[in-house]
Amino acid sequence: MKSILIAEDTYSNYLLLSVILNKHYNLAHAVNGQEAVEMFKVRPYDVVLMDTKMPIMDGLQATREIRKMDVNVPIIALTANAFDSDHQKATEAGCTEYMTKPIVAKELMDLLQKILGE
């Protein structure tokens, strides 16, 4: 079973993602960007779902740090901001995909299946 690191500081958002994903993937939860980077150092994941706005270290900086360790892991930016400039910042930081909140279950599952070749 593929593994997904979910970096999300809002617990209700994490719960929604876990309800959508836990039957299909092994999940790990980081509550901020720094924790996500530390968890990725210990164990690689097949995909990272990265909230862009988090305390301690935001998701874009965490993405840059993870990219120093692994240039190929798919990182999907999750954000409430739907502006083109936010999408561009996520891409420049190293995110491979971008989704706006609220997350739609089918769209997330379709994207993960496409990325993971399932």
CATH number at residue 74: 3.40.50.2300
pLDDT at residue 54 is higher than 90:
yes
Summarize pLDDT for 74-101 with one digit per residue, the tens: 999 999 877 788 889 999 999 999 999 9
pLDDT at 52: 95
Q: Domain residues for 37?
A: 3-116
| One-letter amino acid for residue 95 of the chain | C
Summarize pLDDT for 103-112 with one digit per residue, the tens: 999 999 999 9
How many domains does the structure of the chain reveal? 1
- Spatial strand order of the sheet with 3-7 comes to 26-30, 3-7, 47-51, 75-79, 97-100
How far is residue 88 from each of residues 3, 10, 21, 93, 98, measured CA to CA in Å?
26, 23, 27, 9, 10
pLDDT at 85: 87
Give the predicted TM-score (pTM) of the model: 0.96
pLDDT at 109: 97
